[in-house]
Structure 1
């Protein structure tokens, strides 16, 4: 079994961070496994951690007006689950559920915010990681919307 730092070192997502910075993040992280059907977080709840998916899939969802949940996007290996932790009030904007057995690096985001506060250069590079994830999500959403509204 690998360690959080070995997993973070292997991910292109964190390539802009030095090994030392990845090790600092790994120091406030742990490897977790989840069964299909596990609810990771709910809309409006405190966003106190994020995950880097190593294997499996997590689906982001939102409440629909009828009281159910609507799947928005699947997050797979190498991708970050949870971007709401960085911006106050640090609450989830979506929900998230595991849809296939998943192994992930779970990161304590309060501790990461402290690391970033203590080292603004690290904070800047982390913001680049988060922005890259956000841009990818927006791109995927845009493509889905275009497909949905494309005529026959």
Structure 2
């Protein structure tokens, strides 16, 4: 597989670590409306979007799920797979047709445990993506 340039993964992962992670990926596709995961379910995989848009949503009692963000090209979908208890904190749905790289979380966690430098790189990448989303959410909330 040709390794894509990952702008959400980039400089947080050294080239060798990026290649190692991408070597575990498989290409998948989701039609618009497909659920990638549900809040509260086991977080056993994650994705990097190649094309399309994925909406993140939260359950709201008595109402439809509220969309709280959207992810697109080269963005990481899912972080709960890295942190115990490995349960999704949100839900995700393909807003448009999506093509993505899918990663098996237990496999990646095992690689992280076997190689602490690789694990540190992956944790920094995921943490950076999460920090960026928190900052964007804060900016949206302050702007309202």
Corresponding residue of 2:12:
16
Q: Are 1:32 and 2:33 matched, yes or no?
A: no
Aligned to 1:86: 82
State which structure, 1 or 2, has the greater radius of gyration over its C-alpha atoms: 1
Pairwise CA RMSD: 1.3
- Residue ranges of structure 2 left out of the alignment (5+ in a row): none
Q: Deviations over 1:18-71 (max 9, x none)?
A: 343223222321011111001000001000000001111000000112142000
CA–CA distance in structure 2, aligned partners of residues 105 and 16 of structure 1: 18
> 1:103 and 2:99 equivalent?
yes
Question: Which of these residues, 116, 121, 128, is aligned with residue 125 of structure 1?
Answer: 121
Question: Which deviations, in whole Å up to 9, do the C-alpha atoms of 1:100-142 show, x marking residues without a partner?
Answer: 1111110111100000001000111111101110111101111
Query: 1 or 2, which has the higher helix percentage?
Result: 1
Q: Which of 3, 6, 11 is the matching residue for 2:3?
A: 6
The 5 A counterparts of 1:23-62 are: 23-62=19-58
Count of aligned residue pairs for this structure pair: 143
TM-score normalised by L of structure 2: 0.93
